[in-house]
Structure 1
Amino acid sequence: MCEAIVAMKAGKYLLHFFLLALLATKAAAHLPQSTANANQKSYIVYMGDRLDDGASTSLLHANMLQDAFGGESKSVLCSYKKSFNGFVVDLNEEEAQKMAGMDGVVSVFPNEKRKLHTTKSWDFMGFPQQVERAAMESDVIIGVFDTGIWPESQSFDDKGISPPPTKWKGSCQVEPSDNFTCNNKIIGAKYYHSDGMFFPSDLVSPRDSDGHGTHTASTAAGNSVDGFSTLVRLGDNTSYEGISINTFDLKNKTYPIIYGRDAPNTTAGYTGRSSRFCTINSLDRDSVKGKIVLCDTIESGRGPFLAGAAGMVTRNEDWTDYTDLFPLPTSSFNLVDGGMIYQYINLTSTPNATIFKSDEVSDTLAPYVVSFSSRGPNPITPDIIKPDISAPGVYILAAWSPISPVSQLEVDNRFEGFNIISGTSMSCPHVSGAAAYVKSFHPTWSPAAIQSALMTTASPMSPGINLEAEFAYGSGHLNPLQAANPGLVYDANEADYITFLCRQGYATRFLQLLTKDNSTTCLGSTNGTVSDLNYPSFGLSTSPSKAFSRSFKRTVTNVGSPLALYRADLSFPNGGLNVRVVPDVLVFTSVGQKLSFDVVIEGTLDESLVSGSLVWDDGEHKVRSPIVVFI
């Protein structure tokens, strides 16, 4: 995978950088819209890198249409030659497919306006678009390390954005023949590959051929819903609601439905034991073509798609709480509902079904951490609670590379400027956007101070839904608006982290590799424990039924009112443990003042995990840190 580092200037609209992709009402709005007949619409023919001779590009495009359609009335509506090589033309679906098969054409995709997609994840976190803004926003630079970026996306339009700040020393690394252009939003870009090798699908450019980098760079918001659900109705009029992101419309038409086990590709040596999983080549094309196939696992969809199936229904032992996009109409079920569909197929002489387009449904349990997200404890440093925080990462709608299929499967012919995907990669940009927002108000704060502000203002989450408690969600759900005014921060600098690594057992020579400073040493830094790092959480791993006593030393910096009195509010179930804070009152007389305290935990742990929290409260701010003791 080709990778790229992209720097984007927050500019006048820092929040808009993270919201624009999802709240924009048009994709490719700068492209002309045609007045095509009913059976035609406007398509973009993308031909890759721009040509050196811009004057000949228009002639090339006109000649391509002449070669493809002869004397038919086809004209180039718009030629692109500065950023990339391509043109816009009115085509019907058959003509578009013909155009896509011509030499020199990378892809053909619709040139159309997008309707507004309502997205609510920032609102869900109490962070609407109309929030207080800082004058320093224009100096905030966001770095993205990913698969590149699609610069023509409206998400990266620099209209109204001032030039890069004077502190910016980066550059836009493009080859003379490259089709990538930086602007006042994308202020720098570089591409590379760790071993110097590029895959055939890679562009030797910061341009994104995958889509992931564009999505994370433009991520603005997801939704407070559990998947934009998908209804399957059987021939006996019973309906089952599964999960998927199904954009296909079967228009209520019913199709025969068949179990994958009953359609093995025996010619290729498959039996029903393997074809029930619907993997590639396992299904007999004559048996499944034009039918909906029931599969016994969540499969990519390649197998049924390549066999000509009209749709796919899956039943899964490991039921999931999220889904992906598939190259054909799909809905996924647990074993109970999936079993009912299986029973219908077996007991009906001519079973049939239809799959509806997905509808969004409210998830009243949200927020909670999805099953694919990693859980703690931290395997390297158990006493540092991980994860730190939770943020939206499921069904996130954001910008996409229009030359990468929306399902990221080569068999999918859907190419769009926006896409809905899920992952920890989708959570990260939410946190990055919140960090940039905090940074705009406090440009001198260290990364540790910003991290502390995000963690101590997070909204608590329920261990009743997330059984792993803090090992699922850390400090809680991201609350960007509160993070700009945390009251107190747990700050740490480079020296603090060097001491932490020394206490972890790192040798001096390894530290010097990290710091690039031959004077770095662990001498005098090994006294104390790793849990003394000035971190905004408290974690303690212990042995079962073994008495212990641990003291956590912490220092907080006043970033709120000059005169403030904070009282410790300790919430912790007994569980055989005694937890106290010394002192339990902190009195500040100035901004920037630092005061220290200890959290002491003593006793014997008989449960696998006990957790609670410490809140420093001055009546205006509630500076909350989780406390976790576990075996």
Structure 2
Amino acid sequence: MATWLLLCCLIASSLAAAAAAAGDGGNQVYIVYMGAVPQRASPNLLQESHLRLVSTVLKRGRRAGSVVVRQYKHGFSGFAARLSEVEAAALRRKPGVVSVFADPVYHLHTTRSWDFLQQAAVKIDAAARRRGAHKPAAAAADPSSSSPDTIIGLLDSGIWPESPSFNDAGFGPVPGRWKGVCMAGDDFNSSNCNRKLIGARYYNESDVRGPSQSGGGSPRDDVGHGTHTSSTAAGNAVAGASYYGLAAGTAKGGSASSRVAMYRVCSEEGCSGSAILAGFDDAVADGVDVLSVSLGASPYFRPDFTSDPIAIGSFHAVAKGVTVVCSAGNSGPAAATVVNAAPWILTVAATTIDRDFESDVVLGGNSSAVRGGAINFSNLDKSPKYPLIDGAAAKESSVSDAESASHCEPGTLDSGKVQGKIVLCNHSEGDTSKVVKADELQSAGAVGAIFVNDAERSVATTYLDFPVTEVTSAAAAAIHKYIASASQPVATITPTATVTEYKPAPVVAYFSSRGPSAQTGNVLKPDVAAPGVNILASWIPTSSSSLPAGQKAASQFKLVSGTSMACPHVAGAAATVKAWNPTWSPAAIRSAIMTTGNNNLHLRT
């Protein structure tokens, strides 16, 4: 089923792309990559040469200035232009052109973690502050002087500047070597940047793809992803952080003394290759030290390195001394699904940490509680008094597929049989999502749900006020045994509690893409793994309709999982290494991180 759904999605994407091209007279955006910037070539001369080149292939009446939508002139040479297939083919034959390819759309790879890592960065940051690296402005040292003052750039969905993670209290002046800008846009102006968030750019995709693929007219994050990754990499220490009381503690980034620069290249619809390349090009010119890139292509779309915007942009960034850290992708556990596997990229897989979010099933009679996990704010009675039924027993009479009913697939259950009950449901890869199933059960009148899922149990799905927990198949066996033995089986679901010192940990997350890479089979990928499951970090405000009962204000933090969350952990570590070894190359920094990592924490149960 999963393969069929993937095929349908790929077909739909192809049809959408074809429709978009047809709507523009058969033209679409192509990226023309021309390699490194020639020596002694100024940006202005390079731009003029791009226009002259494209004008040689255009049909009569088409002007170069109207078809070129982006130009790359700092870290590498190239441009993006709206062309026909014939024009693109003609450009491929031109001297100096490395590759010409259709503008692809990539996607985002969607507190306790740094304590768990026992990262030396925390100690180094503390030492940096004691040594006056970030004195108040009135007493700040010369910003051009040597200090552990690194800049982490992120290609992502934007940033929420009001988050306390980006407060600039205690920071000195912006480093004199910084050449970036704070672009004004919708609900965002230059005053939103400060001595912590020192730069912000956005790339308005409406210029390239039209409103449906717009990246937003502002660096402001309306997705949440970029805010989360930025605070994970370099967020200030914020005491009292939690997700409505869960995972409570001090949230901090891996390199809290680093400055942050955001390059908004993504929206909820995706991240265009032309914008990704623009982000790389600007970041190199602006002066970032480390780039964190938590996005990528599908593992089933395998462009060669000269047709992959991330491979191209990162290659030239590394050549300019910028360490590039990328997420490995969320297409595991199948083999050969890793993306962002170019040898010069530091590719990061995701692991669990020693924290879990426990929500147990309490059965009637003298049965022991069954351990489960999810994020819910259950208001059920603590005593087991709610009727318990499994999905197969609640099957709608007109449904012939008992297996689908046992998985609580939408439309398979009799609402009269689930009304007022807790429903036990199987769940497998390829099923309707658990959140959708939970919504269907709640609409049908169920008071709670238990999902049986071995693979995804480690990732705490959020269900808010509807009492849902997830159990392993071994735990489910005890529940089934109780249902079979009791004349009137009853249960309750406890509200989620935070559990620390959970073992075994770390464990590679089920979703984390695995190697080897089909493109670099002789180079092991991913390079390292870092915390990427149930990571607490800053988030954008949410609407009142999505708040748990009794909460008056949205949480400033959220628990999220993905290799997207693992990537900024390593970016923070890279910034720390760079801070105290400013002459080290990206290769040296990558080597230091890979050769000092370990995997022997909290392994025994």
TM-score, reference length from structure 1: 0.48
- Per-residue displacement from partner, 1:357-403 (whole Å, max 9, x unpaired)? 23314234323322222222232222212121121222211111122
- Residue 313 (structure 1) aligned to one of 450, 459, 467: 450
Change (3 A) 1:332 1:119: same
Give the alignment's Cα RMSD to 1 decimal: 3.6
Matched-pair contact (CA < 8 Å) for 1:263–1:288: yes
Contact 2:517/2:525 (<8 A) preserved: yes
Distance 2:461 2:544 in 1: 13
Match of 2:427 in 1: 297
For the 8 Å contact 1:283–1:303, the answer to whether it is kept is no
Runs of 4 or more above 4 Å deviation: 134-138, 176-180, 197-203, 221-224, 317-320, 404-409, 412-415
Instruction: Give the structure 2 partner of residue 227 of structure 1.
Output: 356
Aligned twin of 2:474? 336
* Secondary structure in 1 matching 2:357: coil
State how far apart, in whole Å, the 2-side matches of 1:137 and 1:295 are. 56
Cα deviation code 1:547-580 (max 9, x no counterpart)? xxxxxxxxxxxxxxxxxxxxxxxxxxxxxxxxxx
Pick closer, same or farther for the CA change 1:334–1:326 going to 2, 3 Å: same
Seen in structure 2, the aligned counterparts of structure 1 residues 138 and 438 have a Cα distance that, compared at 3 Å, is: closer
The answer to whether 1:216 aligns with 2:229 is yes
Q: Do 1:210 and 1:404's aligned partners in 2 also have CA atoms closer than 8 Å?
A: no
Alignment correspondent of 1:165 = 175
User: What is residue 508 of structure 2 aligned with on the other side?
Assistant: 369
Secondary structure of residue in 1 paired with 2:532: coil
User: What are structure 1's unaligned runs of at least 5 residues?
Assistant: 1-117, 466-631
Given that 1:406 and 1:415 are in contact with CA atoms closer than 8 Å, whether structure 2 keeps it comes out as: no
1-side partners of 2:170 and 2:222: how far apart? 28
- 1:271 is displaced (CA, Å) by 5.1
Q: Is the Cα contact below 8 Å between 2:391 and 2:405 reproduced in 1?
A: yes
TM-score, length of structure 2 as denominator length: 0.50
**Counterpart mapping for 1:251-290 below 5 A:** 251-254=381-384, 255-264=386-395, 272-290=402-420
Partner of 2:14: none
Whole-angstrom distance in 1 between the partners of 2:569 and 2:202: 24
In the alignment, the residues of structure 2 paired with residue 304 and residue 162 of structure 1 have an alpha-carbon distance, to the nearest angstrom, of 49
| Counterpart code for 2:462 | L
Deviates more, 1:386-395 or 1:237-246: 237-246
What is the CA-CA distance between 1:126 and the residue it aligns to? Answer: 4.3
Q: What is the Cα deviation at residue 317 of structure 1?
A: 5.8
Q: Where do 1:405-420 residues align within 5 Å? A: 415-420=554-559
Instruction: Rate the CA distance shift 1:279–1:453 in 2: closer, same or farther, 3 A.
Output: same
1:391 and 2:506 aligned: no
Q: How has the CA–CA distance of structure 1 residues 196 and 186 changed in structure 2, closer, same or farther, with 3 Å as cutoff?
A: farther
Structure 1 contact 119–223 (Cα < 8 Å) conserved? no
CA distance in 1 between partners of 2:572 and 2:469 (Å): 33
Check whether the contact 2:514–2:526 (CA below 8 A) recurs between aligned residues: yes
| Secondary structure of the corresponding residue to residue 419 of structure 1 | strand
Displacement of 1:163? 3.3
Match of 2:219 among 197, 206, 221: 206
Question: Contact conserved, 1:256 with 1:353, CA < 8 A, in 2?
Answer: yes
Q: Is the 8 A contact 1:406 1:414 kept in 2?
A: no
Q: Tell me the amino acid that sits aligned with residue 228 of structure 1.
A: F
Residue pairs, 1:412-451, within 5 angstroms: 415-451=554-590
Supply the distance in 2 between the matched residues of 1:373 and 1:441 (Cα, whole angstroms): 31
Give the C-alpha shift of residue 215 in structure 1: 1.0
- Which residues of 2 match residues 541-556 of structure 1 at below 5 A? none
Distance in 2, matches of 1:406 and 1:461, equals: 43
Letter in 1 for 2:513: S
Instruction: Select which of 372, 377, 390 maps to 1:242.
Output: 372
The structure with the greater share of residues assigned to helix is: 2
Residues 1:375 and 1:323: Cα distance change in structure 2 (over 3 Å): same
Once residues 335 and 234 of structure 1 are traced to their aligned partners in structure 2, the CA distance between those partners, rounded to angstroms, is 16
Q: Does structure 2 conserve the Cα–Cα contact (< 8 Å) formed by 1:209 and 1:404?
A: no
| Aligned mates of 1:263, 1:379 — CA distance in 2 | 46
Q: Which of 352, 373, 378 is residue 490 of structure 2 equivalent to?
A: 352
Distance verdict in 2 for CA 1:304–1:244, change over 3 Å: closer
Q: Which residue of 1 aligns with 2:196?
A: 185
Work out the CA distance in 2 between the residues paired with 1:193 and 1:262: 52
Change (3 A) 1:231 1:414: farther
1:296 shift after superposition: 0.7
Q: In the alignment, residue 401 of structure 1 is paired with which amino acid?
A: I
Q: How many residues align?
A: 344
State how far apart, in whole Å, the 2-side matches of 1:414 and 1:354 are: 28
> Given residue 142 of structure 1, which amino acid in structure 2 is its aligned partner?
I
2:578/2:584 contact within 8 Å kept: yes
1:95-174 correspondence runs (5 A): 119=112, 121-127=114-120, 129-131=122-124, 132-133=127-128, 135=133, 136=146, 139-174=149-184
Aligned CA distance change for structure 1 residues 301 and 176 (closer, same or farther; 3 Å): closer
Q: Rate the CA distance shift 1:148–1:250 in 2: closer, same or farther, 3 A.
A: farther
Post-superposition offset of 1:313: 0.6
Deviation digits for residues 199-219 of structure 1 (CA, Å, limit 9, x no counterpart): 699854222222221111111
C-alpha distance in 1 between matches for 2:149 and 2:395: 61
Cα 1:402–1:274 shift into 2, 3 Å: same
Structure-2 change in CA distance of 1:368 and 1:231 (3 Å): same
Specify whether residues 150 and 280 from structure 1 end up closer, same or farther in structure 2 by C-alpha distance, changes over 3 A only: farther
The CA distance in 1 between the partners of 2:406 and 2:547, in whole Å, is 24
Note the 1:470-509 alignment, pairs <5 A: none
Q: Which moved more, 1:126-135 or 1:233-242?
A: 126-135
Q: Distance in 1 between matches of 2:213 and 2:418?
A: 33
2:186·2:217 contact (CA, 8 Å) conserved in 1? Answer: no
Matches within 5 A, 1:569-584: none
Q: Which residue identity is paired with 1:316?
A: N
Counting only pairs closer than 5 Å after superposition, residues 512-531 of structure 1 correspond to structure 2 as none
For the Cα contact (< 8 Å) 1:315–1:338, is it kept in 2? Answer: yes
Q: Identity across aligned pairs (percent)?
A: 39
For residues 411 and 217 of structure 2, the distance between their equivalents in structure 1, rounded to whole angstroms, comes to 33
Return the alpha-carbon distance in structure 1 between the equivalents of residues 189 and 396 of structure 2: 45
In 1, distance between residues paired with 2:457 and 2:187?
A: 46
| Corresponding position: 1:379 with 2:509 | no
Please give the per-residue CA displacement for 1:216-264, whole angstroms capped at 9, x wherever unaligned. 1111379942413321111124211123233434351542222222334
CA distance in structure 1 between the aligned counterparts of 2:441 and 2:552, rounded to whole angstroms: 16
Structure 1 CA distance, aligned partners of 2:552 and 2:488? 31
Instruction: Provide the residue aligned with 2:72 in structure 1.
Output: none
SS in 2 for 1:307: helix
Residues 361 and 407 of structure 1, relative CA distance in 2, 3 Å threshold: farther
Q: Distance in 2 between matches of 1:281 and 1:416?
A: 34
Amino acid at match of 2:364: G
Q: CA deviation at 1:297?
A: 0.6
- C-alpha distance 176-427 of structure 1, shift in aligned 2 (>3 A): closer
Change in Cα spacing, 1:154 to 1:290, as seen in structure 2 (3 Å) is: farther
In 1, the alpha carbon distance for the partners of 2:383 and 2:440 equals 21
SS of the residue aligned with 2:568?
Answer: helix
The answer for the alignment partner of 1:21 in structure 2 is none
